Structure formats: structure tokens, C-alpha cells
A and B are shown apart, each in its own frame.
Chain A
Amino acid sequence: MKKAKASPSHPLDALVRTERIPHIWCPGCGIGTAFSACLMALHTSGLDLDKTVMVSGIGCSGRAAGYTRLDSYHTTHGRAIPFATGMKLAKPELQVIVFSGDGDLFAIGGNHIIHAARRNIDLTVLCVNNLNYGMTGGQVAATTPTLAKTTTTPRGNPEQPFNLPLLVYAAGATYVARWTILHTRDLTQSVQEALHHKGFAFIEVLAPCPTGYGRRNKERPLDTLKLYQERTLIKNGANPAEAFLDFERGVVLGKFVEEQRPTCIEMYDRTCRLPDSAAG
């Protein structure tokens, strides 16, 4: 019952490029937990993993693709979604997961995510939201809470952050959920649902960035997880408009939206292809 002497194998190792572990993420960084929830969901999904692809953009979360033993593509900053869109359209039998961060998906890549949601392209998008730009050392992001301190808002952030679930819902996403890394069982289940959802599925994962955000806002990693424990409320089906991210008032988690709408590819096939052209 003691620690095994020979190096045992982690249950997810088959899905990990173990020769690249330990990964680059800092102690207490939540990306690893979100990553492992995603892998666990894949592991138990029953999907053909040879036909499953992970696409990432740039940033800390963008490194996920490089650790996954799947076909994995680490693209340019902000462009994971259009890259994944092209891949899915060209080979619809692929299951395409986009794993990236809030800066990548919603600041530099903001235009792409709203259009992907509008098209209802069949992608599973995991957005790790750590409230700042971690890779570059903790600058203000489109998700940084008002008045929070970052290296580029030393006196506090004067701007208002995005409400990500509301934004993607308004743009047309047909599956929208938000969890924290502490709610990792719910998160894993949500990723599974999203993988089997037809259409654009979006999951926001709140995750601590102790080195960038936490350090300047007096939050140790365990403090952030306590916030996730004490200042959140699970409310499935909640209106995304209520999902504003404010730990003072409490943060709503859950599966907010799950709707059916023809996907981008279904609509293209139905509208643009002549009935006898399928064989090409």
C-alpha cells in the first residue's frame, strides 16, 4: 500500500506523449487538470481516437496539443478555430477538438470563434480561462476582471471582461457549459457530452494562473480553488446572461445550453451539393 517502487503507468499515459512530460505548466496551474479531464473524456468516450484530432493555438493552453498522443496541431496565435474548421470541412469523419486559452480564442481569435459558432461547425472547443496572458508573464486579457492587477494594468484593469458563455451563445453555439477545474467530474462529463454533440460545443474551464494572475492579485493556488468551491453555484440551464464572471457576487457554473441545429456541413451538403454529386 506504499508508493510503488517501479514506475507505474498513469491511466491516461496511453493518450499522452509521456516522453514530453513533465509539461511546461507551472505548479498549481489549472491547465493540466483541464487537460486531463479532456483526456479522460476521450479515453472513456468510445470514439475512434485515430480519427480524433486536437488543435491548439498559442499560449500556455495552446501547448496541450503537443502533449496529446493524437494527431495534434499547434497552430498560430488565435487561429486554432479556422484551422480546425478547414480540417473538419475537408475530412468530416474527423472528431476535432480545439483546446486553447481565453486570450487565444477570444482576443486575437475572437472573430473566428463567433463565426464558428454562427456556422455551428461541428467542433468541441475547450477554453481554459485563467483571466490573463500567462505565457507572456501575466498581462491583461479580454477576460481579466475589472480592477484586477496585471503587469499591464498595475493600478487595476479599467475595462470590463467578456462573459464568454453569453458571447458564444449569442453567436450561435449549440452547446455551452462552464466549469472550474475543481469541478473536474462535471467537466469530464461535459466534455463527453460535447464530443457527442452535433454542432459547435463550447466549454469554458476556469483555471488558476498562480504565476501570472494569482501572484498579482494575492491569490495562492489553493485560495483560487477555495473560491471555486465557495463562490460558485451550479445552475444547469441558467441563462448565459447570468453567467457574468464575478466572484464577489458568485459565479454560475453548469451546462447552460444544449440545442439541436443543423451543422455547417449538413447545411452545406443539403444546400450546395446536387443530390447525385455526393460520389464526387
Chain B
Amino acid sequence: MKFWRTPLDLQDIHVSKGMVLILEDRCKGCGYCIAFCPRDVLHESTRFNAKGYHPPEVKNPDACVNCHYCEIICPDLAIFSVEIPPHPVNAGPSEDNGSTGS
């Protein structure tokens, strides 16, 4: 007897996708967003901002799931993420998957 199964709606589970936006001139280069990003989206840039700090830059944009952690750990209101709307093709038709399951 199988106690597990592949979810029937696997292709419909929506993992949100995010885009990171950086207000470079507010950044003081503490590196918190880089160190604590759970998806390793960011790294330190080699550029200097107006204050002489290295702001983060996005190295792995596709990995961002819009968790906002960089936004809320940032002490300088210098970074935030926004959700990228799911592509219309991927939007599954079935709103009622719950009723068709086990």
C-alpha cells in the first residue's frame, strides 16, 4: 500500500516569483541581504555607490521567490522585492482541485 502520492495538481502549485529592486544610494553595504537570502539571489557588487559602499546586486534572478526577507532585514530601506505575476499560460484552469483529490 502506498502512503504517498505525487500531488495531482503539481503543475498548478504556484511558487511565487519575485524581482529584487535595489535603491543603491541608500545602501550601506552591511551585507545582511546577501548573507540571509534563503535562495542565494544576491551578491556584493564591485561598484561603489554615492556613499562609497558596495551595494548588492542580483546574481541569480530566477531563484527569487519574493519572500521579502531582504526587504525586512535591510536596515536602510534600500532593497525590496515585488512579485512577478505568473505567466498566463501557466495559470491552471482548475480552481476546484481540492474536490477531485483523495
User: Which of A17-25, A94-102, A113-121 sits within the interface?
Assistant: A17-25
- Check B21–A3 contact: CB distance below 8 A: yes
- Check B75–A33 contact: CB distance below 8 A: yes
- Check A31–B19 contact: CB distance below 8 A: no
What's the Cα separation between A12 and B26 when bound, in Å? 14
What's the Cα separation between A182 and B33 when bound, in Å? 11
* In the complex, per-residue mask of B26-70: 1 if CB is within 8 Å of any chain A CB, else 0: 101111100110000000000000010100011001100000000
B58 to chain A: which residues have CB within 8 Å?
Answer: 1-3
- Check B21–A4 contact: CB distance below 8 A: yes
Q: Which of A7-60 contact B (CB under 8 A)?
A: 7-8, 10-13, 16, 21-23, 25-33, 35-37, 40
Asked if A221 is an interface residue, CB under 8 A from chain B, the answer is yes
The residue of chain A having its C-beta at the shortest distance from the C-beta of B18 within the complex is A1
- Within the complex, the shortest CB–CB distance from B88 to chain A, in Å, comes to 18
B75 to chain A: which residues have CB within 8 Å?
Answer: 25, 28-33, 35-36, 181
Of A3, A22, A35, A222, the contact of B22 (CB 8 Å cutoff): A3
B61 to chain A: which residues have CB within 8 Å?
Answer: 1-2
- Within the complex, the shortest CB–CB distance from B47 to chain A, in Å, comes to 11
- Within the complex, the shortest CB–CB distance from A38 to chain B, in Å, comes to 11
- Check A22–B73 contact: CB distance below 8 A: no
A22 to chain B: which residues have CB within 8 Å?
Answer: 25-26, 28, 51, 76
Asked if A151 is an interface residue, CB under 8 A from chain B, the answer is no
Interface residues on B, range: 20 to 34
Of A11, A31, A37, A181, the contact of B80 (CB 8 Å cutoff): A11
The residue of chain A having its C-beta at the shortest distance from the C-beta of B35 within the complex is A222
* In the complex, per-residue mask of A199-236: 1 if CB is within 8 Å of any chain B CB, else 0: 00000000000000000000001100100000000000
B32 to chain A: which residues have CB within 8 Å?
Answer: 28, 33, 221-222, 225
- Check A7–B23 contact: CB distance below 8 A: yes
What's the Cα separation between A33 and B30 when bound, in Å? 12
Asked if A185 is an interface residue, CB under 8 A from chain B, the answer is yes
Count A interface residues, CB 8 Å: 35
Contact status of A13 and B77, CB under 8 A, knowing A3-B21, A3-B58, A21-B26: yes
Of A23, A28, A40, the contact of B72 (CB 8 Å cutoff): A40
What's the Cα separation between A11 and B61 when bound, in Å? 20
Asked if A188 is an interface residue, CB under 8 A from chain B, the answer is yes
- Within the complex, the shortest CB–CB distance from A11 to chain B, in Å, comes to 6
Asked if A153 is an interface residue, CB under 8 A from chain B, the answer is no
Please give the residue numbers on chain B whose beta carbons come within 8 Å of chain A beta carbons, in ascending order: 19-26, 28-32, 35-36, 51, 53, 57-58, 61-62, 71-78, 80, 84
Please give the residue numbers on chain A whose beta carbons come within 8 Å of chain B beta carbons, in ascending order: 1-4, 7-8, 10-13, 16, 21-23, 25-33, 35-37, 40, 181-182, 184-185, 188, 221-222, 225
13 CB contacts below 8 A, A to B, read A2-B58, A3-B20, A21-B77, A22-B25, A23-B76, A28-B31, A28-B32, A30-B75, A32-B75, A33-B73, A37-B72, A184-B72, A185-B72
